[in-house]
Amino acid sequence: MINVLVVDDSAFMRKMLSDMLTKHEDIHVIDKARNGKDAIEKVLKYEPDVITMDVEMPVMSGINALKEIMLKHPTPVIMVSSTTKAGTDTTIKAMEYGAFDFISKPSGSISLDIHKVESDLIGKVLLASKVSLNTLNLKPIVPKKTLKLNEQDNHFSKKEAGNQSVKGLTKVVLIGTSTGGPKALQNVLPHLPKDFPHPILIVQHMPKGFTKSLSERLNTLSEITVKEAENGDILKKGVAYIAPGGYHLKVRGVGTSVAVNLDQSDLVNGHRPSVDVLFSCFDSIDITDFIAVTLTGMGSDGKKGLVNLKETKRVIAIAESETSSVVFGMPKAAIETNLVDEVVTLNDVASTIIKYC
């Protein structure tokens, strides 16, 4: 049995979450807590396998409780977040402090329709119970100095980098990730130098709202520009574009430039945005070279897209190793294609990207 501690300041939400979880035969709600302080006491008493943690609570917030739990008794924690700006910002920070993943409340702090996330919640609890605590405690490395490009001598500011329109674009970096991705991206993008010579397109499986907070957080930590992709954005070197939640990230030609093309077509592999869609959207675009990176995540999204990309373009494929992956599903699926050129730990992903620039 997977013993779960449910933490929420609302008695209604505690009951609803507990009722949903106990529908699964392998899950047992060992106890409930009404705030972060109460949660810490019960974690030390009952030693649960997984915790669901409300983000905003009186007495002690979810994120403060998370920090203390990861110090005193590391445990996989799934944050239960509202979609307010404060809620999404705090949730992104929770990923840095060791939270396994999160689910978003459909309609505010007390969501009468919380049943909408039942299958997602149960799936994440089952997965969290198997995760290696070593990967959750892997701290994001924010460098004092970024890595240097090989044989490059381009020096321009972050602001100038964002103004460099890529005409006659020949190479693009593509990154796909899911569970564990926010922290993984924080171990990659801040290491890239401000004169990074290619645009970067990123699919991170996340709901609407959270990708905005993620891009803003990564932008403050990075010398390159990181932004949530907007329809019509012209791809520019030194800029990373993160697919907004609820939209597939594609591209289209605009004269001699290449632009972001967002759409809300059908889910692919259960996702929108989808890594397969990103990896497969360049068939009609005259770009010859790619660096395709698959980081931590559940499932196999990106596997078919990588096969398609390798068949039609010149591609260096990089996958995160099992050693550092929070969830080895997506990297493993990529490796199983036998098309991956480099399998590296998370701390070596940025330097490997730069090696092939």
- Catalytic position from the list 205, 213, 222, 348: 205
Q: Please, how many CA atoms are within 13 Å of residue 159, restricted to the half-sphere of its CB?
A: 0
Verify whether residue 301 is a known catalytic residue. Answer: yes
- Which residue type sits at 51? I
Closest CA to 317 of 293, 281, 337, 336: 293
Verify whether residue 205 is a known catalytic residue. Answer: yes
CA end-to-end span of the chain, whole Å? Answer: 48
Do 195 and 149 meet the contact criterion of CB atoms below 8 Å apart? yes
Q: Is the peptide bond before 182 cis (omega within 30 degrees of 0)?
A: no
Would you state the structure tokens that stand for residue 217, as one six-digit string? Answer: 């957080």
Angle between helices 118-128 and 11-21 (to 10 degrees): 70
Give Rg (Cα) of the chain: 20
**What CA–CA distance (Å, rounded) separates 3 from 126?**
10
- Catalytic position from the list 301, 321, 324, 348: 301
Burial class (CB in 10 A: 0-12, 13-18, 19+), 269: middle
Do 299 and 330 meet the contact criterion of CB atoms below 8 Å apart? yes
**What CA–CA distance (Å, rounded) separates 210 from 207?**
6
Closest CA to 282 of 235, 329, 326: 235
| Residue indicated by tokens 């799936």 | 123
- Catalytic position from the list 178, 213, 274, 321: 178
For the annotated catalytic residues, the residue numbers are: 178, 205, 301
